[in-house]
Amino acid sequence: MADLNELLGEELFNQVSEKLGDTKLIINDGNYIPKQKFDEVIGSKNEFKSQVGQLTSELEALKKSAKGNEEFEQAIQKLQDRNNEWESKYNKTLIDNAVKMEALHNKALDPSDLAKFLDYNELSLDEAGNVKGLKEQIDGLRETKAYLFEQDKKVNNNNAANPTNVVVQKSLDEQYQEAVKAGNRTLAIALKNKMFNL
């Protein structure tokens, strides 16, 4: 990827650098997650984690004081059920966010479209909070449903003057046709718009 100096040219780069001073400028090369998205994910995670932690401590306190008291035992059971519900929501949020992050990292055209093809029953959280089975499923989709991902154009530079040696992965038109066949209208519209903007 070209750096900012190459993109802007020497004169414009010097003007921009002078105006920015010590401020750093980050160019999106597709390998980082925007801070806003990251903050949303962390916010959701922390909210659910806080709820689960609070309910767990309430539950433990009630268990200690409720031995032998039927009314307290029913209250504990309700809290236990509520705690399990929040823990389930927390785990689902972690998995959903991991799917979005992994989709963005793998340059999916639309993370929501990609998520429709995942088998969530095969995804689980390990003790460290990582989603097991996600990478394997996305790698499989990259092979079987390549139209869900940005396609890299590869050019053989050895004989660039000879157009027969240029290798290009699926064209936008081919991706569009696959999306139409798959019934993915959102992706088809996005690809059609992309073709019109070329």
Whether 81 is in a domain gets the answer yes
Structural domain contains residue 15: no
| CB neighbour list of residue 123: distance below 8 Å, 6 or more residues apart | 95, 99, 131, 132, 133, 134, 137
SS3 content of the chain, % helix, strand, coil (to 5): 70, 5, 25
How do residues 1-50 score in pLDDT, each as one tens digit? 456 667 677 887 787 777 777 665 555 555 556 667 767 777 877 887 78
* 162 inside domain: yes
Alpha-helical runs (H) found in the chain:
4-8, 10-20, 35-65, 70-105, 111-116, 134-144, 172-181, 185-196
Mean model confidence pLDDT for the chain = 75
What is the number of structural domains in the chain?
2
Q: Is residue 13 part of a domain?
A: no
Q: Which domain holds residue 171?
A: 153-196
**Tokens encoding 187:** 């992706």
pTM strictly above 0.75: no
Do 52 and 137 reside in the same domain of the chain? yes
Same domain, 90 and 170: no
pLDDT score recorded for residue 4: 65
